[in-house]
Amino acid sequence: MRNKKQIGKALGRVPSGLFIVTAAHEDREDAVLTSWVNQCSFEPPAVTIVLGTTRPARLLVEASGAFTLNILGKESNSLLKHFFKPPAEGVSIFQGLNVSKGHKGIKILDDSVAYLECEVREQQRFGDHILYTGEIVGGKTLKGGEPYVHVRDTGFSY
């Protein structure tokens, strides 16, 4: 790679949103903060999400074949703080949050701007992340408002 520092600065300028992906399978459930999300199809409506290979939530996405994409807003600071660090051992990651159960029993964060319920149609590993294509099977605007958008200082770290 030529001039990694300059490439990192340029890559960091690619804007992205902030989202919480929720997943469940059998008696297990989890959630993870993610930023690499894009719409990828009009018909059928679909999005792509990318999760790190070390994220436990991805195993639930793969086991259930589904996930919910909770879209955070500019004013979602309490949700951001909640998901910046893992909960204490034995404590549900959803403790203290307003949630509903959605498609396949996957939690919806009621304080998000909107949500999309998705069924996994494809997945592909690339490097240290896995790309999932999710066909949207449900969704709704909740609080509404402007989505949270950010850019990074470097494209080589979150």
Q: What is the mean pLDDT of residues 110-134?
A: 97
Give all domains of the chain, ordered by start, each with its CATH number: 16-144 (2.30.110.10)
Instruction: Return the DSSP state at 142.
Output: S
| 70 neighbors 115 (Cβ within 8 angstroms) | yes
| pLDDT score, position 154 | 87
| pLDDT score, position 141 | 97
Q: To the nearest whole number, what is the mean pLDDT of the chain? A: 94
Task: Give the model's confidence band at 158: pLDDT under 50 very low, under 70 low, under 90 confident, else very high.
Answer: confident
Task: Give the model's confidence band at 21: pLDDT under 50 very low, under 70 low, under 90 confident, else very high.
Answer: very high
Q: pLDDT tens for residues 63-116? A: 999 999 999 999 988 999 999 888 888 899 999 999 999 999 999 999 999 999
Q: What is the mean pLDDT of residues 23-30?
A: 96
Q: What is the mean pLDDT of residues 127-148?
A: 95
| 32 neighbors 49 (Cβ within 8 angstroms) | no
Q: Tell me the whole-structure pTM to 2 decimals.
A: 0.94
Distance of alpha carbon 103 from alpha carbon 137, whole angstroms:
8
Burial 121-133 (b: 16+ CB within 10 A, else e): eebeeeeebbbbb
Share of the chain above pLDDT 90, in %: 82
Is the pLDDT at 1 greater than 80? The verdict is no
